[in-house]
Chain A
Amino acid sequence: MNTLFEYLVRLGDDSLILGHRLSEWCGHGPILEEDIAMTNIALDLVGQATSILKYAGEVEGKGRSEDDIAFLRYEREYKNALLVEQPNDDFGVTMMRQFLFDAFRKPLFEQLTQSSDEQLAAIAEKSLKETKYHLKHSAEWVIRLGDGTDESHDRVQSALNDLWRYTDELFFTDEVDADLEAKGIIFSSEELKASWSEMVKNVLNQATLTIPDNGWQHDGGRRGLHSEHLGYILAELQYMQRAYPGMEW
């Protein structure tokens, strides 16, 4: 197995699928400023997906472009975490999903800027700048909603309760990670989890929210085993490429 290719697909798919979810909000945000912010974050994520999947294609060496990889795989070949494919639901769910994800991606990109793989380090450098802004934005909203009104508190608490079961998967590792870690391309997932936990506890505390004690955690995304939601995302994402195969746009 080409472990670097596999890793890049996991990383790129997280950006691709979350970018897709956020762009579903376009024109429907709770305030105009948030329409702008969410579109902007979606745009960053699509940009990340583009550079990561382009590099994945190069690493694979079979002549696939970033678009071939993004649009022309079957469902089981997508490797995003289950968290990012969860539906937008209300703004509280969207912001909580974003916060739990951003709090993972920031320390991840920080680590990856030190990667022995120069290309990956460069991608991480650029993505880190964007992710810092995303995290600031989502953390501020989690705090505002958590410590806002009773209604907003309840809504965002219930978002946390629902999404918490998808958080462990962000730190999923298998032989892919072990191989790349041994090569100095990626770094310890335990350290990552420690930074994530600290950030999450700190923000949820300010937001007066409680981490649910529901211990069960789902996984499968990294091995291509998804929730039912992904199929519908792909039906939209791939529509043009499937309906008009082999054309240029």
Chain B
Amino acid sequence: MLNGNIFKKALNSLEETGILRPGAKPQTPDRLYIKCDACKAMLLADELREHLYVCPKCGAHMRISARDRIHMLFDEGSFQEWDADLLATDFLHFPGYPEKLAEYREKSGEKDGVVTGLASIGGHPCAIFVMDPGFMIGSMGTVIGEKITRVFERAAQQKLPVIGFTVSGGARMQEGTTSLMQMAKVSGAVKRHSDQGGLYIAVLTDPTSGGVTASFAMEADVLMAEPGALIAFAGPRVIEQTIHKKLPAGFQRAEFLLEHGFLDKIVTRDRLRVTLKRLLGYHRQEDGSYGRL
């Protein structure tokens, strides 16, 4: 289904085509070619960027940074970041954690694994959180828990919808049982926002697993995913070790979850903007609020 012209073709005649802005800054500025992990094609970095990091040959949706995604998706200049100054600490004196934090802060340019703030999409204001695959594969610790909790609390106060992008390898072991508690912490804030009538749309991207899947990734009113995204509680390797069997092809991919009733929709990256814009539009009330807030 996916091919070179997915950016021009509407999936059904009722859904208008919405072209996203290509990413501004290259993720790999020093490389001319990038290899697609899925089909092994060598792709021109500039061309790939124009294609929103979706392989023009096979349609594979590559991982992109939180900043790239915000730039591609939300109205130009609309993003105002929240809580950019929160830093994790090594409160359990976990061997190697300070070095790992320093390494990933340097590599990703982020202080932790999620970027949050206020933005708009087609003029609809929303509170957003976008997890970053480049920071310890979005492993969830105290900073991610606190920042996302604040997103839902502020959204409830300011009567805003929440749009969240998840990507996570699971909980941050280096923060011990406190990292586990973040699942309950964020869930509490999601529930309060929801009970006030707030709208929450989640987009699950590759990979979303562990504690994030078992909490806020699965708690949205509308649950979408990018094509081919791995979405799991226990990752494929853990399951193969537990049951001593090879897993069938496509197991735990977005298409599998859709078929089993755990997703509302799979949306290709080029159609995310228009899909979110329309969903927000459906929930907009006469007084300018969203949902029942």
A and B from one complex: no
Give me the interface of A with B, judged by CB distance under 8 Å.
none
Give me the interface of B with A, judged by CB distance under 8 Å.
none
